[in-house]
Structure 1
Amino acid sequence: MTTPPFAPPTDAELAVVSAQLGREARGVVGIAARCVCGNPTVVATVPRLPDGSPFPTFYYLTHPAATAAMSALEAGHAMPELAALLEDEDTAAAYRAAHAAYLADRAQFGDVPEVAGVSAGGMPARVKCLHALAGHALAAGPGVNPIGDEALRLSRWSPKRCECLEPGAAGAE
């Protein structure tokens, strides 16, 4: 078992995440990726929420501008283009490796039989949710999740440009 690359969230970080989500953050064990300004972008969440519900999405995208960008890609029908990338064996192999890495990261926080072998975003064989794939790509860093990396590249959002203070953005301080 490796140590996760994040510390437990502070109360202030949980307040920002809750504002970003528009509801109370649940089961957050760390901030897995941040905006350049320091605000949370992706949280790591326990695989079983405090109410007992299984929750397979370990890396959860919370940043409002990032989630909007992934929603715009999905609405613009980017999924078939991204799914077609899996026809390349190297990309498909990297995507399967991303799935395995995701499962290993989540396993550090518990074994939940209901979600055993299930990662997120359609991994390892299809493209289902760009929010989850982008969240994983941001948390793991470039080169780990090829579909998440490509979704981020196609989007109009960048983790290198703060949009937290944009008018109406949740989490603006």
Structure 2
Amino acid sequence: MVDDRDVAAVERQLGRTPRGLRRVAHRCPCGLPDVVETAPRLPDGSPFPTLFYLTCPRAASAIGTLETSGMMRVMQARLAEEPDLARAYQAAHDDYVARRDKAAAEDGLEPLPRDMQSTGGMPTRVKCLHALVGHELAVPGSNPFGREALDALGEWWADGPCCAVDETGRADTTDRVGAAGAATTASPEEETP
């Protein structure tokens, strides 16, 4: 269960009401959620393969900068050149699918089809660092490319929280980034809850 304050923070970060929230999967050092776990199927029953969703607009913006730097092309090339890395990336995919299947079972939902993507292009492509970083933050040590991207990000939280909500879950008027910042940071490949 996600408490009202966390739901309000995620809503501020995304600029809209989140769908299918299961729990906060990771918290930013500032204390706010930065990764949430979502249900494998949305309330209307439609498949939703992105189990771990990065919500912090500052982290998302920094990751977007990494994506435009060519980092994903280099990572993709390394998959063909480094067998140990390819095996670790396959293991990350397997971990993600197992966790998504477990979430479906816990929620009494039909698991997603086996041929459905896990996230971020796994296990054979690198197409969304946002999703890979979300996985690594939620399950430290699980995703080699998520870890590399996370290490390259720096301290996105250093300027303080990306948004503010009071103890009751209402938006605080001192909001630092807000919905406008969040709306432009999502990766086009990443599903949105």
Which of 161, 164, 173 in structure 2 is aligned with 1:164?
161
Look up the match of 2:184.
none
Structure showing greater radius of gyration is 2
Contact conserved, 1:57 with 1:132, CA < 8 A, in 2? yes
Which of 76, 81, 99 in structure 1 is aligned with 2:74?
81
Normalization by structure 2: what TM-score?
Answer: 0.76
Secondary structure of residue in 2 paired with 1:14: helix
Flag the structure with more relative contact order, 1 or 2, with Cα contacts below 8 A and sequence separation at least 6.
Answer: 2
Aligned-pair identity in percent equals 46
Instruction: Pick closer, same or farther for the CA change 1:117–1:100 going to 2, 3 Å.
Output: farther
Q: Which amino acid aligns with 1:145?
A: N
Look up the match of 1:152.
150
Quote the Cα distance in structure 2 between the aligned partners of 1:122 and 1:81: 14
Look up the match of 2:19.
26
User: Which runs of 5 or more structure 1 residues have no equivalent in the other structure?
Assistant: 1-7
Quote the Cα distance in structure 2 between the aligned partners of 1:165 and 1:21: 11
Instruction: Pick closer, same or farther for the CA change 1:80–1:39 going to 2, 3 Å.
Output: same
Normalization by structure 1: what TM-score?
Answer: 0.85
Of the structure 1 ranges 161-170 and 84-93, higher mean CA displacement relative to structure 2 is found in: 161-170
Alignment of 1:122-133 (within 5 A): 122-133=121-132
Query: Is 2:41 the partner of 1:48?
Result: yes
Of the structure 1 ranges 82-91 and 125-134, higher mean CA displacement relative to structure 2 is found in: 82-91
Which of 73, 94, 109 in structure 1 is aligned with 2:88?
94
Shift of 1:36: 1.2
User: Which runs of 5 or more structure 2 residues have no equivalent in the other structure?
Assistant: 105-109, 164-174, 180-193
Secondary structure of residue in 2 paired with 1:44: strand
Which of 101, 106, 123 in structure 2 is aligned with 1:107?
101
Shift of 1:135: 0.3
